Structure 1
Amino acid sequence: MTASHPAAAAPWRPLSSCGRGCLRPGPPTVGRLRRTARIAAFLLLLAHVPLVALTRLAGHRVSDAAYRWYMRGILRSVGVRRTVTIREAHAPAGPVAPLVVSNHTSWLDVSVLPAALPVRLVSRADLRRWPVIGWIAAVGRSLYVDRDRLSTLPDSVARVAAALRRGDAVAVFAEGTTWCGAAGGRYRPAAFQAALDAGAAVRPVALRYHVAGTLTTTASYVGSMSAAESLRRTVAIRGLTVDVTVLPLIPPGAAPDRRSLAALAQRAVDAHHPVALRCSMRHCPVPHAVCTRCARTPRENEPVANEPMAKDDDEQQHVRNPDRSPRHPDRRRSRTTGP
């Protein structure tokens, strides 16, 4: 398994401009013996997937609990600590579960969210055919999206909406692909249509990986990096912690359409990031909070063809285009090397 690569992706898929250059060196590392022990613990947990799968025979409540504990074990096995902060003391109860949306940085995210919250993940359809990974997804009752067959997207949205109506919280990584964490992608609106159809609230969640309080991109899964390489880099980090910030609900009716709803969720996540990020184009000197990812070029980050259920995304592109926006009066190139 490899991270998304622009050359291999279909033209309608979201692409990330992040690559190996975004992986900043410097975090302290553990010794070779501990790295080996962590990888061994991780592989041992994978070997026990069939036992976790058997919990499905006991019903969803038992299997969901086993799945959450299993995901917590995955994080502990590779040396990742987890902290959860809830920004809202009392969430309004209702028969319709919320749509949980989060930024996407690492392959660890698919363990972090279920470990922190009782959610069903939206996953790629081809994961069902993968050994071990497919079994884990089945235990977690993942909902699948076929990214190669756009005609199935309305059915996928309908399945997510039906799960929300049944009271199952569904989590989606709305950027559509992984970014380095010091830059991010625009939230795609398709999944938010499910929340509108179901009358569900949206729960933004901000994920941040750090070492001793300092943001790190070392755990990111970007560019042409393989899963094995990313695993080796992750288990070598000493004191890697992921902060899960559960933000206040965006209530039903807060936005008139899916694109506005996606923008609300994205702004909520961005506002709780602890650093002044830069935009996704590394040469852009404008702070991320001001730029709102407007410096992305169509070649690197934006599909050229119109994407289904998001036809008017290009209509908003002039707002983000630095050549037309008053927020970018000076586009002089910077020698900034970070994302």
Structure 2
Amino acid sequence: MKKPAMRGRGATVNPAGRFALQQSEEFDDGWWQDDEPSPQTRLLTDSARTIINYNNSPDVPFDRSINPYRGCEHGCPYCFARPAHSFLDLSPGLDFETMIFHKPEAPELLRCELSKPGYRAAPVALGINTDGWQPLEKRLKLTRRILAVLAEFNHPVSIVTKSALIVRDLDLLAPMAEKGLVSVAISLPTIDPELARRMEPRAATPARRLQTMRSLADAGVPVGVLVAPVIPHLNDHELEGALQTARDHGARWGAHVLLRLPHELKEIFPAWLTENYPDRAAGVLRQLREMRGGELYDAGFGTRMSGQGIMARLLIDRARKTCARLGLNSEEWQLRSDLFRVPGRAVQQQLF
């Protein structure tokens, strides 16, 4: 008899990380019970020394990012950030969504880094690796404190989230938007509530995300939609509809990203897929390999976000034509970095 998936959790397996010295394999010994409770979320401290991470990747539109949390309670089985838990000697499976690390000193670290004499402002991406507005943020308000520091320094920031909680921070976001300092992309891989419930068990429903888009747009915050990940034979047919619905709720730009399965995700996502959509699993993985050069994942720059081959090019063409028809991506603008200032520094300089 097969052990059922944990209620309210995304990953159906908890494999050892790739750096683990010992590996284990789960098997049914007959002792599990149907009412076995889902593991509770544990909050742990990440004693970071710095908070801004830098990169030189040619296929992302930013060179720096801030991630207040490691791990994410949303539980998306496709999340490309899952393998990072291996560096903590934890599993990218259930551990990733039940053992969440937070950086309590992040706002103070950020203030220190932004105040350094040699710092030069450029847009910083907030919550890229894991969602800055995941459920624990409602209580901890860590991302909000970081956002307040960025606002104080007039520092530009781009945000990606799938959480309706971001509306809580409109009092910070709206004034920043008036200065050209902030943009928000809402992650919306599906507008099907049943698929979303299985694929993103603790994230906001598609309807709430669309309402969030509208609230941001009405407050003057530039908002776009990120249809990601696109999964062949599962949600790829929704691409045009998701872009259309997002535009109708205030989105000004749109983009898509093909499903990425680095490292342990090659085990975690297929296990989830087989559990939830056994009739489609083989077709999904076969099509994905065709779009990834015969493998489940290709990390090459230029193709890791979009794939390669006929089907990948067709997906790109569909997105491009739909965005053009809807008037998405028609504006040319960028976040302002020229307003950046260290509070108090200009006043002190004037005294001398």
Q: TM-score, normalised by structure 1?
A: 0.30
Question: Which structure carries more relative contact order (alpha carbon 8 Å, separation 6+)?
Answer: 1
Q: TM-score, normalised by structure 2?
A: 0.29
